[in-house]
Each structure stands twice: as C-alpha cells, then as structure tokens.
C-alpha cells in the first residue's frame, strides 16, 4: 500500500469561535490520525494546537473526536477509514475549548479533588499490608484508567447539560469512588466516611442512567458501567433503599 | 453541547456511521414485544392447553382463572377480580425487566433518546437522570429481582408439569416440553445474570478472600452478567414464543407433536 | 521591563513524573510550600510508559534477597562506574519507598500469601520487581498524583484553599533557572495554554525533567524528553556527568513509521521469541562475546532446551544484555541483512501456539494489532534499537541530590546522573525516582527553611533577558515568515537555501528533524571518532540556525513556538553527548566505540563533566575527574576475580578491607 492524499476537516479556533477547516494531506501506510495532525503542523499549520504525549495509548493526552466519536488520536489508525472519506477531527465537545484541538479539562481535576483520598489502616505500618489478588482485582481494573477523559466527554449527563457539571462527578470519578470502596485496605468507613452514601449524595451517581457510552469509548476496555457504576448503585441501594437497613438505623438511632 | 466556551460546532453530532441503527432496532424490538404481550395479557383466553400453561398467566391467582389440574393456580384474589388474571402476576416480571440495568439502557436510548447514541446530542432541555421520582424508583430493582426469583420458581414448576400428557399422566414429552425447557433455561440465565444478583451473591463484599464460596458464586454470576444483554433479548423472545406456542395449541391451530 | 506575574514559593519542582511528584510530596510534608511545574497535564508524565516494575529488595519472592545483592547487581549492570553511594542508598531505601506507595493506595500484584509480588528481570539475581501487570509506571504516577491530591484535600480542609501549600502548574514550561549570585532564586516559565510568562520565586529548585530521547530520531521517549532539566542546570552553571552513556533498547518497533521506536518488551525474548535476519538465520549465535561464551548456548537446539530446562541448557543468545543485542541488530542491518523497514525479525509466531502468545504477551499482541495491524501470532515483528534512557545527567551529591556548584539546585530521576553508571538495569529507574525524588524534596525543603530569613532576590535583568529570549522566535517569524513552512519533503533543503541566501527564518520542525537525524546517525548506538567530529560540526551549524528560528501565530498554545524554545535544550544536551562520547576512548555499557571496542580499567574511575564554557555562546567545556574509591566494605561484596575485571591493580590493592 502506498501513500495517498487524504481529505481532512480539522476544527480550528478558540472560545471566540472557529470552524472546520479543510486540508489535503499525505497519508502513508501504517499511520494513525495523530501522525497526520503532526504532518499538518510540520507542513501546513505550524501553530495547530494539539495535546499529545506518549503516542502509544498509555498517557491519555491526545483525546479528540474523530468523525464525531471520542477517541485517542494515537490509537486511531488511518486504515480504518475509506481513502475517499473526509476525516473530521474536532476537540472534545463536552469541555471548553482553548485552541484548535486542545480543550480545558480542568473540570476533571476539580472532580478528582472532590473524591476523598484513600484512608490507610491506622494499625498497620508500611510493609505490613497483606492483600490477596482476588481482593485487588476489581480495583486494579479501574486503576488501568489512563485519564483520557473520553468517558467524561461522551457522557451525555454533562455533555448535553452543562448545568449538571456541578452535581455530577462523571464516570471516571464515580469509578474512582468504586475503586476506593472496593479497595481491600481502605479504612474510610472507620474514619466516618461512607463512600457508598456519598457516591449518591455528593458525586451525583443518580444522574447516571447507565447508557454505557463511557464503556463504549474507554480505550483501556474497562467495563466502567458493569463493574464500577452499577455495583456502586447497588451499594448505594444497600445504604439508602434497603427497608431492613433503614428500619435498623431507625431503631438503633438514639439521642447521644 | 452548545454551552458557552465550548468549540463552536452547531450540529448535534458529526458521526458518519449508522449510529441510529441500534436504538431504532432496540425500539422496534421492544415495541413489538409490548404490542404482543399487551394483546395477550388482556386477552384472558387461550392460555392453557394441558399440560402447558402460558408463562404470561402463571401463577394464575384469581377466581376467573381457567382451572389447571395440578397447575399453578390459587384463587388468592377471589371473584372480584374481573379482568385478565395475567395482569396480577405480570407486574412482577414487568417490573423486573423495566428496572433491569440493561433494559434501562435500551429504552433510555431507544425511546427516550437520552442519549440516542454516544456523542449524539439528546433532544431534552433538562436532565436529572435517576435522581428523582419516578426514575429514582429504579433503585428498587433488587426487590423485583427477589420477586422474579419466585416467578421463575413457578415457571420451573410449570416446566416440570410439561412432562405430563394432556390427561395429566406423568412421563410424557412433546414439542412444547422443549419449548418450555428452552424458555425456563433462558429465564433463569437472565434472572441470575442480573446485576443485583451479582451484587447480592458477593459483589457487596470487600474481601473475597474471606468468603471463597461467595467469591466463586460472584465469578459465576459475573460470567453470566457479561451476557446480560443477550440473555435479556433471548429470554424475552423465549417467553413470547412459549406463550405463542400455548396460544396456538389452545386456539386449535395445531396439535402438540408428542414424542412419547 | 516586561510585567510578569510573580509568586513566592519555598520549593519549586520542575517536572511531574515519578521523581518530581515524590520530591513535591516530601517537600510539602516537611513544611515547605511547594510548586510543581510540568509541561503536560498532571498525571501524563513519561513515567506512565514504564512497564516492568520497581526494583526493591523486599525479599517477598526470594527470602535471600537483600539490599547488598541489589547493590551488587546495580554496580555490575553499570560496569562499576556508578556513583556507589547512590547505588547503596538506592538499594537500601527502595523497599521502604515501595511500601509507602501502598500506604497511599497503590495496588501491586500479589503473592499467594498476600504480599507484593516480585518478578525476574535482566541483571537482577532474584525476582525483585514489584509490578502491576505491565503498567507499573501508570500505577506509580497515579498513586503519587493521588497522594498530592490527598495533601491538597488536607490543606483545603484546613484553609479552604486546595493550592495554598502545594500547587501544580500544569502545561507550563520553565526556560530559565534564575539566580542571585551563585544561589538559585527561582524559575522563569511560560504557560503553554496562554503563552503568558511568570516567575516563581523560590530559594530551592528541584529539577526532575527526565531524559533527552527526543534528540534522537528513533526513541521510545515522548515529546517532553527534550533534555530541559539538563540544559537548565547547564545554563545555571551546574555540570552534567557522563553524558555519553545513552541506553539503546534493542527491540523497538520500526514499522509503521507512526510507532517507530515504541518499545517491544524484553519478555518477548524471555518467553521464547527469537531474532532472525532477512536470510532467516538466528544471527545472535554469531554475536556472543568471549566473556559470555560459557554462559550462552551454541546451537539452536541447546538454546531451545533452555526455556523448559534451564538447569541443563545454556541460555539462548537472544537473552544477552541489552547493549550486546542492540549492537548485533545494528550490525546485521548495516550488513544488508535487515528486514524491509531497517530492522530485524523478532518472531514468536513459529515458537508458540497463538493462544499461548495471546495469554503470555497480551499487551504486545494488542500493541502490534492496534498500532501496526500485525498479528504477532501469525507473522514476525520487525524490531530495531531505540533510544531509551540516558544514564548521564546532572552531577549531584549522593545524599542530598544537590547539584554541584549551584546552592539551591537539586536534581532527581533520569535527569540526575551517576546512579546507574554506564548502563541501567531494568526496574532500577522507578526505584531511583522514588528514592532520590524523596531525598531531593527533603533536602530542598531543609535548604529553603535555612534561608527563610534571607531569601535570594530575583533579578529583574534576568527576567528581562529570559523573556526576550523566549519571544525571539516571534520577532523572526514576523520578519521573515517561516521558510519551508509550506513545503513538504523538501522543507529542509528549502530552508537551507533561504538561509544561504541570507534571509528568512528557520522552521523549528525542520531543525528538529535534522538534529534527530544527526544524533541518530552519528552519535547513535555505535560510535566512531570521525562521525562524532562530523556531528559536532553539524550541531554547531544547527545551533547557529536555531538562533534564527521563527514561528507564526500567537502565543496561545502554539506548538511551533514551544518546539522552537525546546530546541535550545536539545542542542545543548546533544553537544554534551557528542563531546563526552568523543572523549571516552573505550566501550562501556551504553557507550560503544567501534574504534575502541574494549572496556578499559583505567577509564572506570573517570567521570566526564560537561559545563558551560561561555553562557553567551553556549559552548560546552569538558573536564575529567577521578571518582572517589569505592568504600572497602562495599567492595567486599564482590569476588576478587570479578573486581579484577573492572578495577586496576592499584585500586584493588588499596581498596579491599580484607
């Protein structure tokens, strides 16, 4: 297979406005979309802004929307497109744009701060921890997350409703709550923090209507919905909608 | 999508694939079932062809039930219940499926367009998800799961009854027996693959290592759970076919081919 | 005088990889108000690329493992050129550093009895690498990142402000370390997003910027690895140590171009993968050096027996040390027996059933399938050497990580030199980050506290000079337009022609490509005096042209501008590598001279230091220094026969305590 000239439409602009610009650019065998963006930079648009880093699908920097689908540019091979097809690249549409393909993802960092950290068990010193593989498996799956924020971008709760950003942590950070709640050593509960309850009351778990787009776009193949969000919803049910638990808490509650 | 600060793109989506196919297919499939099951549930007829009882009418709990010898009827509701007895019991499987995590995805996408597909803008101005009434009731899925277990138990009993002949003698089998066996297998697989079930058998634990039996159960349910969507459709189709089979027998379209 | 935003901090950490974050955590925990500046988003540092694990003698997998064994392995790996006190501290403190990660929430793979699992790796006597599948680096970064967030949450609970004690300035680049006399007084930086300049005033600066791989064409390193910290230290007056030692990993992907250089993990060979040339020959049998002859198999049959029965077979030659394999691949390609895309074939498809490959090498299967559309269960991979790691770096004090000659300047991680000697063992980089990141943060905080009353002042003139330097490319871009910016293949020539004609600005992308080509071809894996001379003269020309780099557009997130500024650093560092490589007339670890193929004992205790001769011109001055003798009790850990291969007779006589 030899090189060919491909047609691209790349969104250029900033928060003031912008639009899709047409480019014709050389594509060679084996290239990915990020290579093409780099070729545009080197030859036609030296100031085309793009965020990238490892170029091997491990850091989660080069998130964008390619033909309308949230993807990593470094993991989208050109061979998946028809040669005659025009490939459209836009920045993530759920976040404010900074310039061209670069968006302001600070929403995610704010949400990360909102999740109370891991609480180590006070009675054990470093080196004394014992955990078994079957106990860490679940949280390890969630820790594969490369924080590309594609799930946050695709989630309609915030993508289509800016006003929900305040109340909703997004799949990535609800998964973080699940990760900590399933962490075999997390002592949050003993310190008075009920992650199951806060997932719903503070991080907006109820906004999730489990339509699974987060799982669909995850480049790491993490089963976010089935393994993190739904189990978390079930754990919230344990706390809040289980009549026996509710009755128990009513009975045991005494003035102190 | 068009909130201030975001990239100025006016179209609802830029997808070039046939993204509408999946939600349209889902909606069509669900709609077909709803139409069929509504007709059958309210028909109040042709639901018993000894030894087969339609899963829509089992257990049959009103006075106006057709009598089924040794079958799943018990006159709990008495004679005041005037409409189809199917309605009494269908509430439970219906509630189970309506609050099922898979079906929720299916109808939120297919009927509500919330969202229609990933990265395709939804048409609603406001969205509060499952945070308030009525959708907050989705949290009751677990209790419908318990009810669904009971119903599945009754349907298992019904399936056992299919090993009789039309005169209630045991040790026989017909084509209907196979239909019922397939149906009950799918019903159980679907019911046990439920996310609530996965949580109850072990998912709520923090330390699997201390509960090896429940860990194994959780893993088993987890494997089924990965196929929850497929099982949801297969069992839906199965239950409709089982009912249709009984209907065809009861209305005399054909006779049950007997094996022995 | 340009108006730039100024802030006051106690410690500024440049770089947010493993070392930088560990330093920041330590400094903040010791009471210093700490700022971290990083070029990428928080949590995206190159550390995420590390796969294998963290080497630490925790003795979980083999109870005989001790810090002494780890120390010994590290010195052997580095061919005894290591700064031995660093290697000692590293081996002693690594277990504690791994365990504290667990306290912060890390989840390593487990042993059957619930402890941290440890895996085998090249050069380590015992299974020693704590790991999480093949994503250990990600776990490390995420854990440190979450620890920082936890500290910020504590601050928020106390003060209502997350960032009052510990702040991350993400997507910002430091271009100068500012000084007050000989002492550090802060950093000058720009925000990549807005292009705005700012100054962080601080008595202590920790450099943790990683490596230099982006000066080479084929590299496993990301765009950030432009040698920023190395250059900042040089420009601030601190010397670089042993920059000639650059590790080339033997197996990087060579095709397709988009993934050229990306690592193919060593486990592929460990699990049975073999190297073949275009004639189908397992050429590694031809490259077993004499010193290894007894330990490696001589026939394919014998080699193949090793995987199942290592007791009665010798190891296959594919498992020779990294430098040997890299050199062999290089030689095959040069002899015209390479694969179509300039590598050799690494084949597992004929060695194992497809399903075994998918189970044992999931990430490699995935990597080739996704990136190259190659099914490694059905066809061989094409691989070749790729620039992976620089052992050389800022000369530091072993205990405090303080850079030499510049009070207030600290360095940790890949940017610091000495720890790994001439060659780094796999797994030792992550432990290095943690051990010396912590030490740098600790001593930087102490130092800052000692200066609480008389903090160094920031000099306005330096700020003016730094901002003028940073803005230069715009002035040139506006005047001349970017030559070659619209061309494609002929951009380099076009730019050269414009330059010859005496006008026009240089395109930073073109210059970068030329630099990478120069370093790859002339100061690459095999080095010759003549080629290095040539490299130095090309580098001089490139430096001159870099003075005329121009960029288009404005300062907001302008990648052309960013690259133009990074070029200065890459050129400085490249010159250091080339000069030091020309000077060291022996072959040792990551430095191979075709004209001096032997390792010389006389060179073992020689450090080559690069310093800036004339800051105005940016010329490098090279000096030699003799390293202090290894402490006798540490030498006692080795056999005398082994030591005799490395140490001179005089050193041996005087050195041993026995």
What pLDDT sits at residue C656?
A: 66
Active site residue C314: no
Alpha-carbon gap, residue A5 to A146, rounded angstroms: 33
What chain A residue is nearest to B132 in terms of C-alpha separation? A206
In the predicted structure, residue C360 carries a pLDDT above the cut 80: no
Pair of tokens at residue A127: 């080196």
Mean pLDDT for C134-144 is 94
Give phi and psi for C570, each to the nearest 5: -65, -40
Binary contact (A41, C48; C-beta < 8 A): no
The pLDDT of C363-378, averaged and rounded, is: 86
Residues of A in contact with C552 (CB under 8 A): 46-47
Residue in C607, C605, C608, C609 with CA at minimum distance from that of residue C635: C605
> What 3-state DSSP class applies to A20?
strand
pLDDT for the residue numbered C307: 79
Closest CA to C121 of C68, C51, C18: C51
**In this predicted model, which residue has the larger pLDDT, C495 or A123?**
A123
B199/A204 CB distance under 8 A: no
Average pLDDT (B89-95) is 94
Give me the pLDDT at residue A253, please: 57
Q: What is the pLDDT of residues B31-54, one digit of tens each?
A: 999 999 999 999 999 999 989 999
CATH architecture of A4-103: Roll (3.10)
pLDDT at residue number B197? 97
Contact across the interface for A213 and B119, Cβ inside 8 Å: yes
CB contact A24 to C (< 8 Å) = no
Quote the CA–CA distance of A202 and A176 in Å, as a whole number: 14
Measure the CA–CA gap between A49 and C45, rounded to whole angstroms: 19
Q: Does the beta carbon of A190 lie under 8 angstroms from any beta carbon of chain B?
A: no
The pLDDT of residue C235: 96
Distance of CA B88 to the CA centre of its chain: 15
| A93–B206 CB contact, under 8 Å | no
Which residues lie closer than 8 Å to B117 by C-beta, 6 or more apart?
B13, B15, B19, B20, B22, B23, B109
* CB distance C288 to C296 below 8 Å: yes
Dig out the tokens for B40 from the structure: 């059958």
Q: Residue range C381-395: average pLDDT?
A: 95
pLDDT tens sequence across C536-593: 999 999 999 999 999 988 898 899 999 999 999 999 999 999 999 999 999 998 999 9
Q: What fold characterizes domain C249-387?
A: Flavocytochrome C3; Chain A, domain 1 (3.90.700)
Q: Do B16 and A68 touch (CB under 8 A)?
A: yes
Of B16, B115, B226, the CB nearest to A160: B115
* Closest approach of A93 to chain C, Cα-based (Å): 18
Domain A106-251: what homologous superfamily? Alpha-helical ferredoxin (1.10.1060.10)
CB contact under 8 A, A47 and C560: yes
The Cα B40–Cα B90 span in angstroms is: 11
Residue C176: name the closest of C186, C160, C188 by CA. C188
Say if residue B51 is preceded by a cis peptide, omega within 30 of 0.
Answer: yes
- C616 — pLDDT class (breaks 50, 70, 90): low
Instruction: Work out the pLDDT band at C195, boundaries 50, 70, 90.
Output: very high
pLDDT tens track for C29-70: 999 999 999 999 999 999 998 888 999 999 999 999 999 999
Chain A residues with CB under 8 Å of B6 CB are: 93-97
DSSP alpha helix (H) spans, C285-344: 300-306, 322-334
Instruction: Please list, in sequence order, all residues whose beta carbon lies within 8 angstroms of the beta carbon of residue B124, skipping any fewer than 6 positions away.
Output: A160, B113, B114
Contact between residue C106 and residue C138 where contact means Cβ atoms under 8 Å apart: no
pLDDT above 50: residue A12: yes
Average pLDDT over residues C315-332: 86
Closest chain B C-alpha to A58 CA, distance in angstroms: 23
What are the CA-CA distances from residue C127 to residues C58, C121, C423, C432, C637 (Å)?
10, 7, 20, 18, 19
Query: A35 and C560 in contact by Cβ < 8 A?
Result: no
| C-alpha of C102 from chain center | 25
CB–CB of C542/C512 below 8 Å? no
pLDDT, tens only, C102-131: 999 999 999 999 999 998 877 888 889 999
Q: Does A193 touch chain C (CB under 8 A)?
A: no
Distance to chain B for A245, nearest Cα, Å: 14
Q: Do domains C5-245+389-460 and C249-387 have the same CATH topology?
A: no
A-B contacts at Cβ under 8 angstroms: 153
In chain A, which residue's Cα lies nearest the Cα of C364? A56
A234 CA: distance to closest CA in chain C (Å): 24
- E strands in chain B: 48-49, 52-53
Residue A225's pLDDT is 98
pLDDT of residue C618: 61
Can you tell me whether residue A117 is helix, strand or coil? coil
Report the mean per-residue pLDDT for chain A. Answer: 93
With CA atoms as reference, the chain C residue closest to A101 would be C557
**Residue-level pLDDT at A245:** 66
Distance, CA of C231 to CA of A184 (rounded, Å): 45
| pLDDT band for position C363 (cuts 50, 70, 90) | confident
Q: Could you tell me which of C23, C405, C94 has the C-alpha nearest to residue C241?
A: C405
Whether the CB of A85 is below 8 Å from some CB of chain C: the reply is: no
Question: Do residues C558 and C195 make contact, with C-beta atoms less than 8 angstroms apart?
Answer: yes
Q: Decide: helix, strand or coil at residue A69.
A: strand
pLDDT for C309 equals: 80
Nearest-CA residue of chain C relative to A78? C371
Test mutation, B1, B7, B225, chain A, max A CBs within 10 A:
B7
- Minimal CA–CA distance to C432: which of C445, C414, C450? C414
Residues 123-182 of A with CB under 8 A from C: 126-127, 129-133, 136, 139-140, 143-147, 180
Candidate from C100, C142, C257 with C-beta closest to A143: C142
Chain C residues with CB-CB distance to A185 below 8 A: 102
Token pair for residue A70?
Answer: 């949230």
Q: What are the residue ranges spanned by the domains of chain A?
A: 4-103, 106-251
Q: Which residue would you say has higher pLDDT here, A224 or C295?
A: A224
Q: Is the ipTM of this complex over 0.90?
A: yes
Q: Tell the burial category of C3 from Cβ atoms under 10 Å away from its Cβ (0-12, 13-18, 19+).
A: exposed
Rg over CA atoms, chain B? 22
- Residue for token digits 């009549």? A243
DSSP letters, C437-451, are: HHHHHHHHHHHHHHT
Regarding the domain delimited by C5-245+389-460, which CATH topology (the fold level of the hierarchy) does it fall under?
A: FAD/NAD(P)-binding domain (3.50.50)
Question: How high is the pLDDT of residue A246?
Answer: 67
Which chains share 3+ C-beta pairs under 8 angstroms with C?
Answer: A
pLDDT tops 80 at residue A172: yes
DSSP A93: S
Q: Which residues of C touch A55 (CB under 8 A)?
A: 222, 258-259, 262
Angle at C289 between CA C288 and CA C293, to 5 degrees: 70
C501-531: burial string, b at 16+ Cβ within 10 Å, e else: eeebbbbbbbbbebbbebbbebbbbbbbeeb
Task: State whether A75 and C370 contact (CB < 8 Å).
Answer: yes
| Percentages of chain C per state (helix, strand, coil), in multiples of 5 | 40, 20, 40
Strand-pair partners of A22: A9
Q: What is the mean pLDDT of residues B4-32?
A: 95
**Helices in C104-135 by DSSP H: which ranges?**
none
Span A214-228, mean pLDDT? 96
Domain ranges of chain C: 5-245+389-460, 249-387, 463-600, 632-658
Task: For residue C269, name the pLDDT band (cuts at 50, 70, 90).
Answer: confident
User: Region A72-94: what's the mean pLDDT?
Assistant: 95
Q: How far apart are CA A132 and CA C111, in angstroms?
A: 7
Per the CB < 8 A criterion, the answer to whether C13 and C413 are in contact is no
Going C305 to C307 to C310 to C316, the CA torsion angle's sign is: positive
* Cβ within 8 Å, pair C222-A53: yes
Say whether C637 sits in a helix, a strand or coil.
coil
In the block, residue with structure tokens 């919803």: A233
Q: Does residue C640 register a pLDDT over 70?
A: yes
pLDDT, mean of residues A135-158: 97
pLDDT number for residue C615: 61
Q: Of C107, C367, C486, which has the smallest distance from its Cβ to A140's Cβ?
A: C107
How confident is the model over B102-148, as pLDDT tens digits? 999 999 999 999 999 999 999 999 999 999 999 999 999 999 999 99
Q: Do A29 and C256 touch (CB under 8 A)?
A: yes
pLDDT value of residue C485: 37
* CA–CA distance, B110 with B247 (Å, rounded to integer): 29
Find chain C residues with C-beta within 8 A of A26's C-beta.
Answer: 488
CB neighbour class for C372 (10 Å; exposed up to 12, middle 13-18, buried from 19): buried
The ranges assigned to domains in chain B are: 21-128+135-250
Calculate ∠ Cα C341-C346-C352, nearest 5°. 145
Q: What is the CATH number of domain C463-600?
A: 1.20.58.100
The reply to whether the predicted model has a pTM over 0.90 is: yes
Chain B neighbors (3+ CB pairs < 8 Å): A
Catalytic residue among C30, C97, C269, C322: C322
CB contact under 8 A, C561 and A131: no
CB < 8 Å to C342, chain A: none
Q: How confident is the model at residue C497 (pLDDT cuts 50, 70, 90)?
A: very low
Residues A32/A73, Cβ–Cβ less than 8 Å: yes
For residue C196, what pLDDT is reported? 95
With a CB cutoff of 8 Å and minimum separation 6, the contacts of C641 are none
Rounded CA gap, C206 and C34, in Å?
10
């Amino acid at each position: 297979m030899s090189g060919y000239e491909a047609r691209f439409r790349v969104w250029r602009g900033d928060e003031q406005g912008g639009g899709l610009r047409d480019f014709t650019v050389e594509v060679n065998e084996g290239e990915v979309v990020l290579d093409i963006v780099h070729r545009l930079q080197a030859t036609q648009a030296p100031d085309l802004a793009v965020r990238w880093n490892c170029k091997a699908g491990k850091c989660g920097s080069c998130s964008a929307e390619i033909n309308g689908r949230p993807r990593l540019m470094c993991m989208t091979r050109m061979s998946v497109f028809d040669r005659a097809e025009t490939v459209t690249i836009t920045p993530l549409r759920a976040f404010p744009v900074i310039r061209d393909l670069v968006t302001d993802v600070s929403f995610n960092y704010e949400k990360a701060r909102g999740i109370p950290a891991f609480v180590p068990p006070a009675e054990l010193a470093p080196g004394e921890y014992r955990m078994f593989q079957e106990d860490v498996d679940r949280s390890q799956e969630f820790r594969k997350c490369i924080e590309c924020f594609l799930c946050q971008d695709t989630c309609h709760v915030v993508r289509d409703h800016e006003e929900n950003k305040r109340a909703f942590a997004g799949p990535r950070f609800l998964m973080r709550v699940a990760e900590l709640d399933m962490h075999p050593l997390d002592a949050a509960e003993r310190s008075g923090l009920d992650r199951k309850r806060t997932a719903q009351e503070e991080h907006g778990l109820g906004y999730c209507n489990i339509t699974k787009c987060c799982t669909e776009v995850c480049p790491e193949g993490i089963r976010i919905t089935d393994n993190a969000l739904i189990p978390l919803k079930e754990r919230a049910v344990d706390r809040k909608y289980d009549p026996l638990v509710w009755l128990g808490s009513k009975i045991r509650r005494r003035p102190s | 999508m068009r909130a201030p600060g975001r990239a100025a793109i006016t179209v609802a989506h830029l997808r070039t694939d046939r993204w509408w196919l999946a939600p349209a297919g889902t909606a069509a499939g669900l709609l077909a079932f709803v139409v069929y099951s509504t007709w059958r549930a309210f028909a109040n007829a042709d639901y018993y062809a000894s030894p087969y009882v339609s899963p829509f009418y089992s257990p049959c709990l009103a006075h106006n039930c057709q009598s089924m010898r040794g079958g799943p009827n018990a006159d709990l509701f008495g004679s005041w219940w005037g409409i189809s007895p199917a309605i009494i019991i269908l509430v439970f499987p219906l509630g189970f499926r309506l609050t099922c995590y898979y079906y929720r995805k299916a109808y939120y996408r297919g009927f509500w367009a919330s969202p229609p597909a990933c990265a395709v803008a939804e048409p609603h101005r406001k969205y509060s998800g499952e945070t308030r009434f009525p959708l907050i009731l989705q949290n009751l899925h677990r209790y419908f799961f318990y009810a669904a277990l009971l119903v599945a138990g009754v349907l298992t009993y019904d399936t056992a009854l299919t090993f009789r002949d039309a005169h209630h003698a045991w040790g026989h089998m017909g084509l209907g027996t196979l239909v019922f066996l397939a149906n009950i297998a799918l019903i159980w697989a679907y019911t046990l693959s439920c996310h609530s079930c996965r949580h109850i058998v072990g998912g709520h634990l923090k330390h699997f290592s201390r509960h090896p039996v429940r860990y194994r159960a959780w893993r088993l349910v987890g494997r089924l759970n990965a196929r929850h969507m497929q099982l949801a459709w297969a069992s839906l189709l199965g239950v409709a076919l089982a009912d249709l089979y009984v209907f065809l027998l009861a209305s005399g379209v054909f006779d049950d081919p007997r094996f022995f | 005088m340009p108006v730039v935003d100024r802030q006051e901090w106690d410690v500024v950490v440049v770089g947010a990889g493993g070392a930088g974050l560990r330093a920041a955590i330590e400094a903040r925990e010791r009471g210093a108000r700490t700022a971290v500046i990083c070029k990428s988003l928080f949590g995206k540092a190159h550390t995420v690329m590390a796969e294998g694990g963290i080497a630490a003698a925790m003795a979980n997998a083999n109870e005989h493992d001790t810090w002494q064994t780890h120390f010994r392995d590290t010195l052997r790996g580095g061919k005894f050129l290591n700064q031995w006190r660093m290697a000692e501290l590293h081996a002693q403190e690594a277990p504690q550093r791994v365990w504290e990660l667990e306290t912060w929430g890390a989840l390593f793979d487990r042993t059957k009895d619930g402890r941290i699992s440890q895996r085998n790796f090249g050069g380590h006597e015992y299974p020693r690498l704590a790991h999480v599948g093949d994503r250990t680096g990600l776990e490390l970064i995420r854990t440190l990142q979450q620890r920082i967030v936890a500290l910020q949450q504590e601050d928020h609970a106390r003060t209502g402000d997350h960032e009052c004690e510990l702040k991350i300035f993400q997507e910002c680049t430091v271009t100068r370390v500012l000084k007050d006399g000989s002492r550090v007084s802060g950093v000058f930086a720009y925000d990549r997003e807005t292009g705005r300049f700012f100054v962080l005033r601080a008595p202590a600066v920790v450099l943790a910027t990683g490596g230099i791989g982006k000066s080479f064409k084929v590299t496993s390193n990301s765009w950030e690895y432009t040698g920023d910290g190395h250059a900042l230290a040089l420009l601030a007056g601190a010397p670089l140590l042993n920059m000639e030692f650059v590790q080339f990993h033997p197996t990087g992907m060579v095709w397709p171009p988009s993934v050229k250089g990306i690592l193919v993990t060593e486990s592929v060979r460990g699990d049975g993968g073999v190297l073949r040339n275009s004639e189908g020959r397992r050429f590694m049998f031809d490259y077993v050096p004499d010193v290894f002859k007894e330990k490696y198999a001589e026939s394919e049959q014998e080699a193949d027996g090793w995987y199942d029965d290592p007791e009665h077979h010798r190891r296959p030659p594919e498992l020779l040390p990294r430098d040997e394999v890299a050199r062999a691949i290089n030689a095959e390609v040069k002899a015209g027996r390479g694969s179509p895309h300039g590598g050799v074939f690494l084949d597992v498809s004929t060695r194992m059933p497809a399903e075994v490959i998918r189970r044992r090498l999931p990430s490699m299967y995935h990597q080739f399938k996704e990136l190259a559309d190659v099914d490694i269960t059905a066809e061989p991979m094409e691989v070749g050497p790729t620039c992976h790691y620089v052992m050389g770096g800022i000369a530091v004090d072993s205990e405090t990580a303080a850079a030499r000659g510049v009070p207030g300047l600290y360095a940790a991680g890949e940017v610091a030199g000495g720890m790994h000697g001439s060659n780094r063992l796999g797994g030792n980089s992550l432990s290095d980050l943690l051990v010396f990141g912590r030490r740098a943060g600790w001593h930087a905080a102490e130092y800052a506290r000692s200066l609480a009353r008389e903090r160094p002042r920031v000099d306005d003139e330096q700020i003016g000079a730094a901002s003028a330097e940073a803005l230069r490319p715009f002035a040139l871009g506006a005047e001349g337009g970017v030559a070659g910016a619209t061309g494609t293949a002929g951009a380099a020539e076009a730019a050269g022609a414009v330059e010859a004609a005496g006008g026009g600005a240089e395109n930073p992308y073109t210059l970068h490509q030329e630099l990478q080509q120069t370093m790859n071809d002339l100061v690459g894996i095999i080095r010759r005096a003549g080629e290095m001379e040539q490299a130095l003269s090309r580098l001089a020309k490139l430096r001159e042209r870099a003075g005329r780099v121009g960029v288009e557009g404005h300062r907001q997130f302008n990648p052309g501008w960013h690259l133009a500024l990074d070029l200065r650093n890459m050129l400085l560092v490249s010159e250091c590598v080339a000069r030091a490589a020309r000077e060291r007339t022996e072959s040792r670890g990551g430095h191979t001279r075709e004209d001096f193929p032997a390792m010389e004992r006389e060179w073992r205790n020689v450090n080559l230091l690069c310093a800036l001769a004339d800051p105005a011109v940016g010329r490098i001055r090279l000096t030699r220094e003799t390293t202090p003798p290894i402490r006798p009790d540490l030498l006692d850990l080795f056999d005398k026969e082994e030591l005799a291969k490395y140490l001179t007779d005089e050193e041996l006589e005087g050195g041993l305590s026995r």
